[in-house]
Amino acid sequence: MTGIAFIITTKNTEETSLDAISKTLNSCIAFAKKQAIHIPNFVVNYGPTGYSKPEKETLIPKITGLVEFNQNENIQRLYQMADNNLLDPLAKCLSLNWFILKLVYQKLANDYHRFIILEAGQTLDEAITQTALFSTNPAETPSIYVPKKQISHLTAAESKHVFFKRDAKAWGFDSEKTDEILKVLVNMAKHMQDTYDNIHCLDFPHALYEHLQNHHLTEEAALQV
């Protein structure tokens, strides 16, 4: 195991351009320089549109690898089923699962002791990088790292219930948890498909937390971004 690796997920659209990836990449590179280590950066595009040749020529020299699923029949079918961003959570879930499987099949999953997943556009402030998730040392007890839940901004009168705000722009897992994460992502995708009603798709953070309930978690407030 050589250290940690970043996985940056993104949907290539006019609104989410290379600028969002560059913002996250620059933040990751700055963190790596501060640690005086090399940290691989993988980019996973889960959208229906691939990057153009000029865009790839700009992006690829800055990263370790680019994986796009726009030619995948399942991804194409998803975006034919619904307009706009309705099925983005499911596309992201499926693509992330396939990418991690790719790492396993290529025997790269065990090259790193931890994978950190970031959504394009996310930056790393000092509080985030001080969490256990960003430790460059292997954990004594393998874990899955997620933001600590927060009570929703809705008042009791507005919600009539206590809702918890979930976020997953920055989360990760130790490589020993790879098999568990793959099972979680499969269950998440099935849950999203089963509950999709042409109007609403379960969002990624809530699905992630729900299917991680029985797993060893490290929850940290600083990861709320």
pLDDT (tens place) for every residue of the chain, 225 residues total: 568 999 999 998 766 678 889 999 999 999 999 988 899 999 999 999 899 999 999 999 999 999 999 989 989 888 888 766 788 999 999 999 999 999 999 888 888 999 999 999 888 888 888 888 998 888 888 899 888 765 545 444 444 444 445 666 789 999 999 999 999 999 999 998 888 877 778 888 888 888 887 667 787 777 765
- CA dist., res. 103 & res. 46, Å (int): 16
Q: Which residues of 85-114 are buried (b: 16+ CB within 10 A; e: fewer)?
A: ebbbbbbbbbbbbbbbeebeeeebbeebbb
pLDDT at 85: 76
pLDDT at 147: 80
Helix (H) or strand (E) holding 69: none
Sign of CA dihedral 33, 19, 43, 188: positive
* Containing structural domain, residue 46: 4-223
pLDDT at 61: 93
The CATH number that applies at residue 46 is: 3.90.550
pLDDT at 155: 47
Tell me the β-bridge partners of 155. none
For 41, list phi and psi in degrees, rounded to 5: -125, 115
Is 115 in a helix, a strand, or coil? strand
Tell me the β-bridge partners of 41. 6
For 88, list phi and psi in degrees, rounded to 5: -55, -45
pLDDT at 84: 61
Quick check: 178 and 142 in contact, CB under 8 A?
Answer: no
How many domains are contained in the chain?
1
